[in-house]
């Protein structure tokens, strides 16, 4: 089921126009697939130049598209650059965050640090897809996480500054000692991501690198399970472990990790996501031995797909 049947646009007191589920939505279901009203590069260093560029873009839109843009919320209506203020309130990053897009519907999705949906830009067909990252009951609000992975004070400051929001979600309403514990986990997760990407350690100490990946996965589960960022962050950690195993020719472990990453990405990007399709092709590829495979057999951790995994145990 796609389109308007899955969601409704309603007025929520204190939030304005918002998206709620029109029916029960299951985890992994696509809620929305939408082309942008327009996109804009994020290259401007002077606000005046940015405002002029936006004015030219908006002038090129149809009358109905202009009306749609100006009907979107502006969190900073007194700003001396009104187009820029409305754009910043609504823009959703795409193309490696060098470009942002504005949408008629996706921009109505409000914030929660414990969001239930995730948006992804598909560059091949230039659309934003939104998938449910947990089951959403009919009439429940559909929510994005605007400030993923930030600690409490940092995300509250950014939410106030950019959107005039004081978040009171479940995560932000925890007792002070639990907020401190959450912040500590988020800082440790960021540190472990940095450590896990150490190329020299990957080469010299794959066991230690995979132990770091295992610690990372446990912390991500503890901190983000139930939130929209859990799937993307878990896939990122698994991808690092996959690189370690392929580097050391443990193709059995690599194959298992690749399937786990694929399943996580499939849930939040859909089967038509470019990376998901690439991963599916790689998983289904019928490998033929090459001269490189003969060299791999001399590697300490060598295994073929389907063999007993060698390095995977270090993530446990």
Distance between CA atoms of residues 189 and 186, nearest Å: 5
The region of weakest confidence among 236-240, 275-279, 304-308, 311-315 is 304-308
* Per-residue pLDDT at 1: 42
Predicted local distance difference test score (pLDDT) of residue 3: 47
Taking only the tens place, the pLDDT of each residue in 73-85 is 999 999 999 999 9
CA distance 143 to 146: 9
pLDDT 10s digits, 154-203: 999 999 999 999 999 999 999 999 999 999 999 999 999 999 989 999 99
pLDDT higher than threshold 80 for residue 287 = no
| Cβ neighbours of residue 207 closer than 8 Å, sequence gap 6 or more | 311, 314
Q: How far is the C-alpha of 131 from the C-alpha of 244, rounded, in Å?
A: 30
How far is the C-alpha of 96 from the C-alpha of 82, rounded, in Å? Answer: 26
**Could you read off the pLDDT of 292-302 as tens digits, one per residue?**
555 566 678 88
Per-residue pLDDT tens over the stretch 141-159: 999 999 988 999 999 999 9
Residue 286's pLDDT band, with cuts at 50, 70 and 90, is low
Whole-number pLDDT of residue 8: 95
Which among 290, 303, 295 is positioned nearest to 257, based on CA atoms? 303
Q: Does the structure show a pLDDT above 90 at 95?
A: no
Mean pLDDT of 235-243: 96
pLDDT score recorded for residue 4: 53
| Average pLDDT across the chain, whole number | 92
Q: Specify the pLDDT at position 2.
A: 47
Is there a contact between 107 and 90 (Cβ–Cβ < 8 Å)? Answer: yes
Percent with pLDDT over 70 in the chain: 95
Give the pLDDT of residue 97.
79
3-state secondary structure of 299: coil
Provide the pLDDT confidence category of residue 45 given band limits of 50, 70 and 90. confident
Q: How does residue 110 score in pLDDT terms, banded at 50, 70 and 90?
A: very high
- Mark 239-260 as b/e (b = at least 16 C-beta within 10 Å): bbbbbbbbbbbbbbbbbbbbeb
Highest mean pLDDT among 134-138, 225-229, 298-302: 134-138
Structure-model confidence comparison of residues 303 and 292, the more confident one: 303
48 pLDDT exceeds 60? yes
Q: In this predicted structure, what is the pLDDT of residue 183?
A: 97
Helices (H), the chain: 47-59, 63-71, 82-90, 152-163, 176-196, 199-204, 206-224, 229-247, 251-269, 274-284, 291-296
Confirm if 152 and 32 have CB atoms less than 8 A apart.
Answer: no
Cα dihedral 124, 126, 131, 137, rounded to 10, equals -150
Query: What pLDDT sits at residue 57?
Result: 97
The mean pLDDT of 246-261, rounded to a whole number, is 93
Q: How confident is the model at residue 316 (pLDDT cuts 50, 70, 90)?
A: confident
């Amino acid at each position: 089921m796609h389109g308007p049947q899955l969601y409704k646009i309603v007025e929520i007191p204190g939030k304005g126009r918002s998206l709620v589920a029109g029916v029960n939505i299951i985890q992994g279901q696509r809620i929305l697939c939408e082309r942008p009203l327009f996109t804009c590069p994020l290259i401007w260093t002077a606000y005046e130049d940015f405002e002029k560029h936006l004015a030219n873009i908006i002038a090129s839109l149809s009358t109905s598209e202009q009306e749609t843009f100006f009907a979107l919320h502006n969190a900073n209506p007194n700003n001396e650059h009104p187009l820029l203020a409305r754009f910043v309130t609504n823009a959703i990053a795409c193309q490696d965050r060098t470009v942002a897009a504005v949408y008629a519907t996706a921009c109505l999705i409000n914030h929660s640090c414990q969001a239930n949906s995730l948006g992804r830009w598909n560059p091949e067909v230039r659309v934003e897809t939104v998938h449910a990252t947990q089951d959403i009951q009919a009439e429940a609000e559909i929510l994005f996480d605007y400030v993923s992975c930030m600690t409490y004070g940092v995300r509250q400051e950014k939410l106030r500054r950019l959107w005039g929001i004081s978040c009171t979600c479940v995560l932000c309403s925890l007792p002070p000692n639990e907020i401190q514990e959450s912040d500590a986990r988020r800082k440790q997760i960021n540190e472990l991501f940095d450590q896990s990407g150490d190329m020299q350690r990957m080469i010299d100490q794959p066991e230690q690198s995979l132990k770091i990946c295992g610690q990372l996965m446990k912390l991500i589960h503890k901190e983000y399970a139930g939130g929209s960022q859990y799937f993307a962050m878990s896939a990122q950690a698994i991808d690092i472990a996959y690189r370690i195993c392929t580097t050391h020719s443990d193709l059995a472990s690599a194959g298992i990790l690749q399937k786990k990453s694929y399943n996580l990405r499939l849930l939040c990007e859909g089967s038509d996501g470019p990376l998901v399709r690439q991963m599916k092709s790689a998983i289904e590829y019928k490998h033929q031995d090459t001269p490189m495979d003969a060299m791999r057999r001399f590697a300490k951790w060598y295994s073929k797909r389907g063999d007993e995994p060698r390095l995977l145990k270090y993530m446990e």
